[in-house]
Structure 1
Amino acid sequence: MSSTDTPVAGFEDVVGRYVNLRSSGRDQRIYFEEAGSGPALLCLHTAGADSRQFRHLLNDPEITGRFRVVAFDLPWHGRSFPPEGWWEEEYLLTADAYVAIVRDLAAALNMEQPTVIGCSMAGSLVLELARRHADEIGAVIGLSGALKVNGRFQDWSLRPDVNAQQSVPTWTSSLMAPQSPEVSRREVWWIYSQGGPGIYRGDTYFYSQDLDLRGRGHEIDTTACKVYLLTGEYDHACTPADTADAIAGIPGAKGGAMKDIGHFPMAENYPLFKTYLLPILAELHADATGNDLDSLALEGTRNA
């Protein structure tokens, strides 16, 4: 092979590891990836998917130069196995178990006052984290999150005559904006095609059945834990109106709709999503470090 034919090795700064911890009375082996240093930014993936959705954020030196970015796979997802005895139970994610694993993971990785960013079911979960544990969380950023989301918990993906590895990713792909790059939309589809049997359905149990914060937004203390909510205008699972209702119901919450983007902003169109994220991170970094980071705000950045 000539020198011109030799592939060039390009190593990313992202490091992947496993951590063993106990959560909700069960031993868990959790896969996580991290990059950067500074105040912690803990990233939570969507229902039925895994932390690969945050690969662009993990590889963005403008972010990792100021934050320690961590993304992990929930138990039953991605590279995290289910706990022992999983074959004896139906997988249904609950708010208690979800809150517990996020707190236990943060503690195991020595995160103090992390900013927690989550999308879809995790966009709603961060509100419950803020409600229950505002003293432990520095801030939350909910993407496609609301006080209540209906209609996502369905049984059809369990039918033996339905190929869930194609039908689930195709169903969820309708939530993305047509303007988002095809290569990114296809990547979201691919990640969804690899979920375990019944896992997407089990996640949506939490999203549509177990969690209901309607009428409880006032219980979230945004003076102790800042709340930001952003939803893409093409999202028809958690609509911009759903998120607007949440913002109105949580005193001190900030955010709004993102133009030209859908349900998976950090994965389907990261460059556009970044223009909405940077002003929030600039504000949070200034709060955490006392330094004004105007350099984080790109020219032309849109404020949510």
Structure 2
Amino acid sequence: MIKGHYVTVTINHEPHDIYYEKAGNGTPLLCLHTAGADSRQYYDLMKDKELTENFQVIAFDMPYHGRSMPPNGWWKEQYLLNTDRYVKTIMAFIDALNIEHPVVMGCSMGGSITLELAYRFPDKFRGVIALEAAAKTGGRFNEYLFHPQVHGGEMCATNVYGLMAPQSPEELRRKAWWIYSQGAPGIYYGDIYFYSEDWDATNRVAQIDTKKCPVFMLTGEYDYSCTPEMSKDTADKIPGAYFKEMKEIGHFPMTENPDLLMKYLQPVLLELSAKTN
């Protein structure tokens, strides 16, 4: 059973009402959505009985996204996400719910930030699973993502539709399109600012201590936003990191093909569930 809740957290001295959902019991598995989307991307994983028998899956909408509201005065400045604010948001949410030693799994920008979490707070996490992530992912930021002459919902949704594998069921690919079509104006643009401009951990990832916080990186073969080669190059810089290319999957594995993703996740989750902190 999936249960939805709200919690108020303080980020940079401002209160934020954050929406989140939980399903299952066991080791906490905190899931981070992609740029411009929300936690609905993890809906099918939260319904997976085998997963929720051993893990309590928790997914939340970042402020400005999905069912989470922006802070008071949001209209006074342009939304542009950066690394520090992203980390503060995640840690404030974890602290508010008293989540102890979770596994953190994120995709795309959510996958990238898991590497930062592993670098900054290795003792707080059982491990991180970075889906479609790399130490640097440039070249995605452009004015058409937030332009008065371009329909933002259509643009964002169709832009990401091409990042999915042709083998993924069309119904699920259309679900990903639908979620993206509903983002508020400028939010995808502001997230891509982090993902493509602000984010660069090239000189930090080699310092991640995988003995304290194991790092697992999984990337779909059809992802041209963050290619398997980019992910592998990052994993090679992290002593002890695990990398696997996922066949017949694109940039949104948990949404476009959750059953196939679970086949890649099962050995990773088994190893992490056995880890003690």
Q: Give the TM-score of the pair, scaled to structure 1.
A: 0.90
What is the CA distance between 1:151 and its match in structure 2? 0.9
Where do 1:1-304 residues align within 5 Å? 13-288=1-276
Match for 1:234: what amino acid? Y
Q: Deviations over 1:46-92 (max 9, x none)?
A: 00000000001111111111111100000000000100000001000
CA distance in 2, matches of 1:168, 1:104: 28
Displacement of 1:16 after TM fit? 0.2
Using the TM superposition, name which of 149-158 and 28-37 deviates more.
Answer: 149-158
Shift of 1:26: 1.1
**Contact 1:39/1:288 (CA < 8 Å) preserved in 2?**
no
> The residue matched to 1:91 in structure 2 has which SS?
coil
- What is the aligned residue count? 277
Deviations 1:188-211 (A, max 9, x none): 000000000000010011111111
Tell me which amino acid in the other structure corresponds to 2:175: E
Question: How far off its partner does 1:215 sit?
Answer: 2.8
* TM-fit CA distance, 1:256: 1.8
Partner AA of 2:260 in structure 1: L
Contact kept? 1:144, 1:231, Cα under 8 Å: yes
User: Which residue identity is paired with 1:46?
Assistant: T
> Helix, strand or coil: the match of 1:275?
helix
Kept in 2: contact 1:217–1:251 (CA 8 A): no
Q: Higher relative contact order by CA 8 Å / sep ≥ 6: 1 or 2?
A: 2
Q: What amino acid is aligned across from residue 99 of structure 1 in structure 2?
A: V
Q: 1:158 & 1:148 partners in 2: Cα distance?
A: 22
- After TM superposition, the runs of 4+ consecutive aligned structure 1 residues lying more than 2 A away are none
Amino acid in structure 2 at the alignment position of 1:102 = I
RMSD: 1.0
- How far is the alpha carbon of 1:133 from its aligned partner? 0.8
Residues in 1 aligned to 2:148 and 2:206: alpha-carbon distance in whole angstroms? 44
* Equivalence for 1:3: none
Identity of aligned residues (%): 52
Instruction: Using the TM superposition, give the Cα deviation of residue 242 of structure 1 relative to its aligned residue in structure 2, in angstroms.
Output: 0.3
Letter of the 1:81 counterpart: M
8 Å contact from structure 1 (residues 176, 263) kept in 2? yes
Uncovered stretches (5+) of structure 2, i.e. residues with no partner? none
The one-letter code of the counterpart of 1:152 is R
Determine if contact 2:219/2:244 at 8 Å carries over to the other structure.
Answer: yes
SS of equivalent to 2:159 = helix
Measure, in 2, the Cα distance between the counterparts of 1:178 and 1:234. 9
User: For structure 1, which segment, 279-288 or 63-72, has the greater mean C-alpha deviation from structure 2 after superposition?
Assistant: 279-288
